[in-house]
Amino acid sequence: MSRKCPYCDSALGVSQDVCPNCGGVYEEKKQAAPAKRPLKPQAPANSLGVRTQSMGWNNFLVKLGLYLYAALLAFRGAAYALGKAYDALELAVDVYAVAPMLKPADLLYGSMLFAGALFALKIRGRMQDFRRNAPMLLHLLLGGVMACSVGYLMGSTSAVTGTALAGSYPVTSGMIWEIVLTGIVLVCDVVYYRNRKDLFTL
């Protein structure tokens, strides 16, 4: 016998007692005749029985957010890996001619970003299906991208030290903002999913 949410009729897994769509609590006695349909979908409860916020952010990530993030990582990864990251910048000198160590660094960094894009799409599918540890994988992705960016920033800055690019390296300021924003999103995600991890059980 299939299990359905008594409030929104969404299909539930065998071990799911909380509806991932509306947050309604499944009980056997409500399956046959729901007592009273709530005016608003109920948010899932944490282990203390306290109602948490809605799943709006998770829905945004699944439907659009992670697609956009994957596209951004893929675009930036391709630009660095193919040596096109500096094409739109007005430089008086050839970056790779002045700092040849930037070329392998850009290739490695671009490859990591492209791998992150593929990982983001994989995580999106797991979050949509409420797979176990999906939020933790999202946190690992954001933390990994941030760590790669910090490592690249330090290495590339060191590579241009003592060259004609010293003091005016064109990628530094923008990348610092990217690192800061990624860190902020990571912290917000950790707080958001802390009381929702029990939903990801499949």
Query: How far is CA 183 from each of CA 32, 111, 139, rounded to the nearest angstrom?
Result: 47, 21, 10
List, in sequence order, the alpha helices (H) in 47-101: 56-60, 66-81, 95-98
Going from N- to C-terminal start, the domains of the chain cover: 1-42, 56-199
Share of the chain above pLDDT 70, in %: 77
pTM (two decimals): 0.68
pLDDT band at 113 (very low <50, low <70, confident <90, very high): very high
Residue-wise pLDDT tens digits, 145-192: 999 999 998 888 787 777 666 665 666 667 888 899 999 999 999 999
Residue 120 pLDDT class (50, 70, 90 cuts): very high
Mean pLDDT of 55-64: 88
**Per-residue pLDDT for 42 more than 50?**
no
Q: Buried (b) or exposed (e) across 52-74, using 16+ Cβ within 10 A?
A: bebbeebeebbeebbeebbeebb
